Amino acid sequence: MIDAIAIVVGLALLIKGGDWLLDASVALSLRLNVPKIVIGMTVVSFATSAPELIVSIKSALKGFPDLALGNIVGSNIANLAFVLGTVIVISPINVTKSFYKTDWPIMILATFLFYFFLVDDRIISQVEGGILLIALVLFLLVILVFQKKAVIEKSLEVNQIELTLQKMIGLLLLGSFCLWLGAEVLVGSAVSIAQSMGVSERIVSISVISIGTSIPELSASIIAIFNKEKAISLGNLIGSNIFNILAVMGATALIHPIQIVDQALLSNDMYWMLAVSISILPLVFFPRFMRLGRYEGLFLISFYALFIYQMFS
């Protein structure tokens, strides 16, 4: 019971710490006259991935690589199956052409690159982590070149956050501390639960931690729906998956190599991630062209429920 409460507290600290870090980072970047287009593509993206990044790094350094890998694999499955499925059940969304021109192809390339790095020798080395980060830079350049108009429009949505220098520094320190403490509590309690239940760290990571780190995306999307905002897009979740692989896993492996302990991560979970990533393409075109509705949402939620069920069966 105590460990379960600790996981909730850890997730809350990660989410709030990420929010404070994001506000302070954006305000500081604007104060330094960094263009909004750069803030939107780098500062915001990295800050929103901070919880996953800190958890993965902390897990790797503490000798629990399956927590780091499970966090990424589970979050990517949850984003496309649970979060997207829930969103389009509540309110169908239209899909833009950028989905099949850049977003989906890049996500598939990143996903297969991640898979082949692991299947080769069951480890993501520091060199491979560096390759993932280089791929991230190339991804940002591709987006800027092929979706410049969309990026400029998105960058204009970055709010001008008026903060004093003292408050900015305070939020940076407080946010960083909450991220560190949240990761410390979350990793420790997740390992403790796994040991007490007699299951692997992989299962706890994929079934609990990953869905917890996907809650901000889900809550933001639902709030946007009820506010009748049009900014909800499949591209946002696909972009999150790309950053999870290239930025979070790349940076984690660069700091400390990640080696698989529970082989089911490769023989089972990775195939579920590949399956849901690939299935999004036909769902966008069939049965309704460039639109995801309630039937597709029910399919994705059922997919996620089956994924969770088979882990414990």
Distance CA 86, CA 72 (A): 20
Distance CA 110, CA 117 (A): 11
pLDDT tens column, 53-110:
888 888 888 889 999 999 999 999 999 999 999 989 998 988 888 888 888 999 999 9
Per residue, what are the HEC states of the chain?
CHHHHHHHHHHHHHHHHHHHHHHHHHHHHHHCCCCHHHHHHHHHHHHHCHHHHHHHHHHHHCCCHHHHHHHHHHHHHHHHHHHHHHHHHHCCEECCCHHHHHHHHHHHHHHHHHHHHHHHHCEECHHHHHHHHHHHHHHHHHHHHHCHHHHHHHHCCCCCCCCCHHHHHHHHHHHHHHHHHHHHHHHHHHHHHHHHHCCCHHHHHHHHHHHHHHHHHHHHHHHHHHCCCCCCCHHHHHHHHHHHHHHHHHHHHHHCCEECCCCHHHHHHHHHHHHHHHHHHHHHHCCCCCEECHHHHHHHHHHHHHHHHHHHC
pLDDT for position 73: 95
pLDDT for position 201: 85
pTM, to two decimals: 0.86
pLDDT for position 128: 97
The pair of structure tokens assigned to 205 is 């990571």
Q: How would you classify the pairing of strands 123-124 and 291-292?
A: unpaired
The pair of structure tokens assigned to 27 is 């305000």
pLDDT for position 20: 86
pLDDT for position 115: 96
The pair of structure tokens assigned to 215 is 């809650």
Among the CATH numbers 1.20.1420.30, 3.40.190.10, 1.10.8.60, 3.40.50.2000, which is that of 36-158+200-312? 1.20.1420.30
Euclidean distance between the first and final Cα of the chain, in Å? 23
Q: Which residues of the chain have pLDDT under 50?
A: 156
What are the extents of the domains in the chain? 36-158+200-312
pLDDT for position 151: 53
Q: Spell out the residues 6+ positions from residue 147 whose beta carbon is closer than 8 angstroms to its own.
A: 98, 102
pLDDT tens column, 16-43:
888 888 788 778 777 777 665 566 556 6
Can you say whether the dihedral through the CA atoms of 215, 102, 282, 96 is positive or negative?
Answer: positive
CB 278 within 8 A of CB 104: no
CB 270 within 8 A of CB 136: no
Distance CA 21, CA 163 (A): 13
